[in-house]
Amino acid sequence: MNIADTAHSEGPSAFAQAAELQLRGVSKRYAGQREPAIRDLSFTVPAGEVCVLVGPSGSGKTTAMRLINRMIPISSGEILLGGRSVLERDPRQLRREIGYVIQQIGLFPHQTVGENIATVPHLLGWPKQRIRARVHELLELIGLDAQEMHGRYPAQLSGGQRQRVGVARALAADPPLMLMDEPFGAIDPINRARLQDEFLRLQGQVRKTVVFVTHDIDEAIKMGDRIAILREGGVLAQYDTPREILMRPADDFVAQFVGADRGLKRLALTTLAELKLIEPNGHAEDWLAGDVRPDGVVRVARETSVRDALSALLSAGGRPLAVVDADDRIEGLVTIELVEQLLSDEVASA
Amino acid sequence: MTMLAAAGPVIPNYAAQSSSCEVDNHLFCWRWVAHNWGPVLWPALRQHILLALVAVAIGFVIAMALALAAHRYGALERPTTIVTTTLYTIPGIALFELLAAPVGLNVFSAEIALVSYTLLILFRNILAGLRSVPAEVLDAAEGTGMSRTQTLLRVELPLALPAIVAGLRIAVVTIIALATIVYIIYDRGLGVPIHRALGEGPFKTELIAAGGLAIALALLADGLLVLTQRMLTPWARARAG
């Protein structure tokens, strides 16, 4: 049995599947300030999708996130979770149904890893047995050794481990919605990429509705099923899939925010596995066979993004790369022309 | 004053049980201590422990209430600090004298005085402890759906423990020392034999024994509090390694 099955069918879960999140004309105006922090924000996150709120500082992305679990009271408009207004709910009950992850993690330093993860189940009054089972299940899910890590204190963990525990704590009661405020912002770039990949793998299993705040457009493109780009003053500039945003920025602000290299970024959205590779025959096969360095053919995994493959192509002096599967069998070749073809196809189909 | 001192226990009769040590006024006579442990030193020590324990316990309850109030309503901090600081600055002997008239020469005036000296130390430390909880930890507590009371009981107070115990250590040592002058208004505690010994001329054993007990008691209480804190805060020693 794999972990996903455990998490869903066998797990001592509290809530049903992910819920749809809807913001309708939400505004936030602080007393004594002329301009609102959030202005007439409306978008819908389908159940089980990751929505990334991204924007420069002062765009109110964190504020927008904290309106959802009512840590900041909304001034006007409506937020519906699973079709039900969050304003009808008791704030504390609501928050126990919404996973909450912040950049500084905020683990309770006086509690063990196990106790930290058990926070919300404990508040919900789950029986001890069920809490213990759930904590172990989550430690497995985030790839930490349950026996070894269960009794440790946060001070005894590395930054990456703490962040994983923070995510496990948020997932503990199997909430239909997760709020994540720059969860990997304080992690070094190498570990950040690893945690991002891990979270995407995890999300593939648990399929939560996620609102993910970041200021990093690359992270937004990587993590988001949809991206909400906010501009200063809390105005929604564009809400779309990463591909649409990269191909058709709504205005100059978005175009500038996603960067001049948005063509390259688009390539990052596609993996080699999605391309129609060149069959390794004819000229190509000769090239492979006749290569002066038989082991020198650059091999790339089929999961590699086209952007990384292009980088490898340029490093290889423009010679084709061999795309290999998990067993190192050659599936086909990728060339610079193929990448060009991909870009022009996308523009044509747009 | 003299009337009070006269009400104390009778000065031990050396002649009846004297050894050469006592007769020659050596610095310290174990035999005297052995003879007087039961009738003099042990009762005084017990009284002393009780005086200090009651004072710190009552002071802790009051200071905790004041600190919790000031933690919630920040405006209360200044007035509370001013009042407790004022109490703390009144010289001990003066405070005892001030209380003697309205309250009387009894356990109440003694305890009121001792308690008033604990308040500043405990209030300040408890409040500092509550405020030392990192903002992100409080944010996480709120975000996971804890109520204010749950946050206080499960997060703020446990994390304030090191500062609270630090305050208790200072308060306990201070009060054990201060309780040696309680004899002025209430003839209990180690102050009684100390004061009497001061009037005994060259014989120093009683002074050293009673004074030594006060010091030992303070050190022991401090040590016990350190051990208690270690037991209660295993997380504070846990470090990556």
Q: Report chain A's mean pLDDT, rounded to a whole number.
A: 87
Q: For residue B152, what pLDDT band results from cuts at 50, 70 and 90? A: very high
Which pair of tokens denotes residue A180?
């994540």
Which amino acid does the sequence have at A55? G
Say how far apart CA A231 and CA A35 lie, in whole Å: 13
Record: contact B241-A106, CB cut-off 8 A: no
User: pTM of the prediction?
Assistant: 0.83
> Which chain B residues contact residue A123 at CB under 8 A?
144-146, 150
Do the chains contact at A110 and B158, CB–CB below 8 Å?
yes
Tell me how far CA of residue A148 lies from CA of A157, A318, B90, B236, in angstroms.
Answer: 11, 49, 55, 19
State whether the Cα torsion A105-B128-B167-B70 is positive or negative.
negative
Q: What is the pLDDT of residues B155-196, one digit of tens each?
A: 999 999 999 999 999 999 999 999 999 998 899 999 999 998
Mutate which of B136, B137, B142, B144 to disrupt the A interface (most A C-beta within 10 Å)?
B144
Which of B138, B143, B150 is opposite residue A69, by nearest beta carbon?
B143
Distance in angstroms (rounded) separating the CA atoms of residues A181 and A211? 8
Q: Is A108 on the interface with B (CB under 8 A)?
A: yes
Q: What is the pLDDT of residue A271?
A: 87
- What phi and psi values does residue A265 have, to the nearest 5 degrees? -65, -35
Give the mutation candidate from A108, A124, A148, A158 for the B interface (greatest B CB count, under 10 A): A108
Is the Cβ pair A107, B137 closer than 8 Å? yes
Say yes or no for a CB contact (<8 Å) between B145 and A105: no
Please report the domains of chain B, with CATH numbers, ordered by start residue: 32-240 (1.10.3720.10)
Please state at what angle helix A306-315 crosses helix A336-349, rounded to 10 degrees.
Answer: 150
**Least confidently predicted of A131-135, A160-164, B20-24, B145-149:** B20-24
Q: How many CB pairs under 8 A join A and B?
A: 79
Q: Is the pLDDT of residue A7 over 60?
A: no
Kindly tell me if the per-residue pLDDT of A161 is higher than 70.
yes
Contact A209, A20 (CB under 8 A): yes
Task: Name every residue whose Cβ is closer than 8 Å to that of residue B90 and which is 6 or more positions away in sequence.
Answer: B98, B116
Cβ distance of A93 and B139 shorter than 8 Å? no
What is the Cα–Cα distance from A80 to A68, expressed in whole angstroms? 9
Which residues 6+ apart lie within 8 Å of B63 measured at CB?
B84, B118, B119, B121, B122, B123, B126, B167
Query: Where would I find the H helices in A52-143?
Result: 61-68, 91-96, 113-117, 119-123, 128-141
Q: Which residue of A has its CA nearest to B159?
A: A110
Contact of A29 with chain B, judged by CB distance below 8 Å, is answered with no
Say if residue A273's pLDDT is above 90.
no
Nearest to B239 among A104, A155, A169 (CB): A155
The 3-state DSSP class for residue A291 equals coil
The two beta strands, A321-324 and A299-301, are parallel
The residues that bridge with A334 in the sheet, in sequence order, are A321
d(CA B59, CA A96): 38
- Split at pLDDT 50, 70, 90, the class of A344 is confident
Does the beta carbon of A70 lie under 8 angstroms from any beta carbon of chain B? no
CB atoms < 10 A from the CB of A86, how many?
A: 22
CA distances from A62 to A75, A221, A234, A243, B96 (A): 16, 18, 10, 24, 58
Judged on CB neighbours under 10 Å (0-12, 13-18, 19+), A253 is middle
Which of the two residues, A298 and A43, has the higher pLDDT score? Answer: A43
- CA angle at B46 for the pair B44 and B50, rounded to the nearest 5°: 115
Please give the pLDDT value at position A324. 85
Task: Tell me whether residues A152 and B241 touch, CB distance under 8 A.
Answer: no
State the amino acid at position B20 in one-letter form. S
Considering only alpha carbons, which residue of chain A is nearest residue B157? A110
* Residues of chain A above pLDDT 70, percent: 90
**Do A155 and B150 lie within an 8 Å CB cutoff?**
no
User: Whole-angstrom Cα distance, residue A130 to residue A178?
Assistant: 22
Residue A154 tokens, joined? 């946060």
**A1-15, A111-125, B56-70, B206-220, range with the lowest pLDDT:** A1-15
Q: Which residue has the higher pLDDT, B173 or A340?
A: B173
H/E segment holding residue A301: strand A299-301
More confident residue, B2 or B24: B24
| Model confidence pLDDT, tens digit, residues A41-99 | 999 999 999 999 999 988 999 999 999 999 999 999 999 999 999 999 999 999 999 99
